[in-house]
Structure 1
């Protein structure tokens, strides 16, 4: 499904995912999605590695209605680079139920950050992934965090699983909360005893560190639609059990840079195993996102 070419448009999501069986609590939040296009209004970045099909806000809103999701955090993607206009547009259309995470340059000005915060962006994200452009040194990223603190924003990071051993100790010194994407991209096939997952668990002993238990469909090398993603679910459930106040969840729609197209209804239903009690589900989908992102009430 992946391609390094910009010439081919890649479909990354199902137009008709199945309705989930699980009924989500009121104010359930999807804390990690993207929006792409339409390209007629929001140009794709010339630095992108591939060209995903348009996934505009209208399709996202319709998906959430079908899934029973009423709140959301949209994460700016490298597909649009550091021009966050596509996410800002979706936030504005979301009527207070949609907030954002921005991509910025390491030398972003205080004025630009203040503007983003005023438009509903609650964090900035930095990638430490080999396949993504725009990487920065963690020391430079940490220098930015006092400026984020002044605006009530936090830091979101996306990194290769092996980097948890070097980035993790540094991230403990952040002046703001840190949210780790997709369970630190650990390899679920290696099990919860593997050193990368154990290092992630140790990192979460620090309460200002948080983790997204998204990506159960990404962390299994043998994952496929309809499988239930049992290895990814097991790791996500362990994180929710051990760190109930530090986990949030997301679909990662429209599933860019993936090996297959997951069914969003299946991902929602996996929550019945990831957070099997009503209290766990309420914390994961409602309480923790409200505390972290501060949706208007």
Structure 2
């Protein structure tokens, strides 16, 4: 029987002994092995996965790319790149299964995406039909989204848009993210609600549910994707693969909408044949 298409849009693989970038917030003390990840996909009925470059590995995407080469049908990749990356290198990455570029800006100085260097880079991303993945607290999203919008490239916002824990859906940056739904070039990942948490389970679960409700109302299932955030770095005490997948049913109660989020929406965004 043919498996129903379902995509995990956000996971990481790495080995703890790998050289780490100097500008890092975290260093892993465990391995996140590709074989373990693939076993989890099989166990939970997920047909495809998207590997996202971990911030602590910086611009050295070599390990991620090696894993993509081993699983070209099942896996896609989102890498970290400098904005002067050439068209030839981008084309080679696209041929290897890469479909996006990540800007993990948590704890970093914000780049000015309106500068000619960045606008030219975003234009090259757009030409490949890739997306720019933004990971930053919601308060700083408006300027980033406005500058990215000028290029016309697709933008994927990580982890609900990272609203402030004590504000959740009342965060002004989150409200601005909702307004970008009308432009039709922004997608949001329903993933890792624990990264927006206040450490109060009684408060955090309803907050994530309300954020998801507002995102679904604004973007619809056509521009929301789900990610496990495996292996849940710094939050392994709070989540595992099963609880991350179960959370989607809490955030999106309608089964047909969940199928669209996991299937057609993610497949189109990450260039997965249907």
Q: Same fold (TM over 0.5)?
A: yes
Gaps of 5+ in 1: 1-24
Count of residues in correspondence between the two structures: 268
Structure-2 separation of matches of 1:274 and 1:49: 29
Structure-1 separation of matches of 2:171 and 2:24: 33
CA 1:90/1:185 → structure 2, altered by over 3 Å: closer, same or farther? same
Moved more, 189-198 or 116-125: 189-198
**Alignment match of 1:239 (pick from 215, 219, 239):** 215
Q: Which has the higher helix share?
A: 2
CA 1:49/1:197 → structure 2, altered by over 3 Å: closer, same or farther? closer
The answer as to 2:257 corresponding to 1:280 is: yes
Q: Which residue of 1 aligns with 2:177?
A: 200
CA 1:108/1:250 → structure 2, altered by over 3 Å: closer, same or farther? same
Structure-2 separation of matches of 1:217 and 1:237: 17
CA 1:49/1:198 → structure 2, altered by over 3 Å: closer, same or farther? closer
Cα pair 1:157 1:179 within 8 Å, conserved: yes
Q: Which residue of 2 aligns with 1:26?
A: 4
Q: Which residue of 2 aligns with 1:138?
A: 113
Cα pair 1:189 1:231 within 8 Å, conserved: no
* Alpha-carbon shift at residue 160 of structure 1 (Å): 1.8
Structure-2 separation of matches of 1:35 and 1:227: 31
Cα pair 1:124 1:155 within 8 Å, conserved: yes
CA 1:149/1:194 → structure 2, altered by over 3 Å: closer, same or farther? closer
Cα pair 1:29 1:69 within 8 Å, conserved: yes
CA 1:227/1:36 → structure 2, altered by over 3 Å: closer, same or farther? farther
Q: Which residue of 2 aligns with 1:114?
A: 91
* Alpha-carbon shift at residue 280 of structure 1 (Å): 0.6
Gaps of 5+ in 2: none
* Alpha-carbon shift at residue 296 of structure 1 (Å): 3.4
Q: Which residue of 2 aligns with 1:229?
A: 205
Cα pair 2:228 2:241 within 8 Å, conserved: yes
RMSD: 2.4
**Alignment match of 2:78 (pick from 101, 105, 112):** 101
CA deviation vs aligned residue, 1:70-94 (integer Å, no higher than 9, x gap): 1111111122211111111221222
Structure-1 separation of matches of 2:178 and 2:188: 10
Structure-1 separation of matches of 2:187 and 2:266: 11
CA 1:193/1:49 → structure 2, altered by over 3 Å: closer, same or farther? closer
* Alpha-carbon shift at residue 172 of structure 1 (Å): 2.0
The answer as to 2:271 corresponding to 1:271 is: no
Cα pair 2:59 2:80 within 8 Å, conserved: yes
Structure-1 separation of matches of 2:66 and 2:93: 12
Structure-2 separation of matches of 1:139 and 1:228: 35
Q: SS state of the match for residue 159, structure 2?
A: helix
**Larger RCO (CA within 8 A; separation ≥ 6):** 1
Q: Which residue of 2 aligns with 1:184?
A: 161
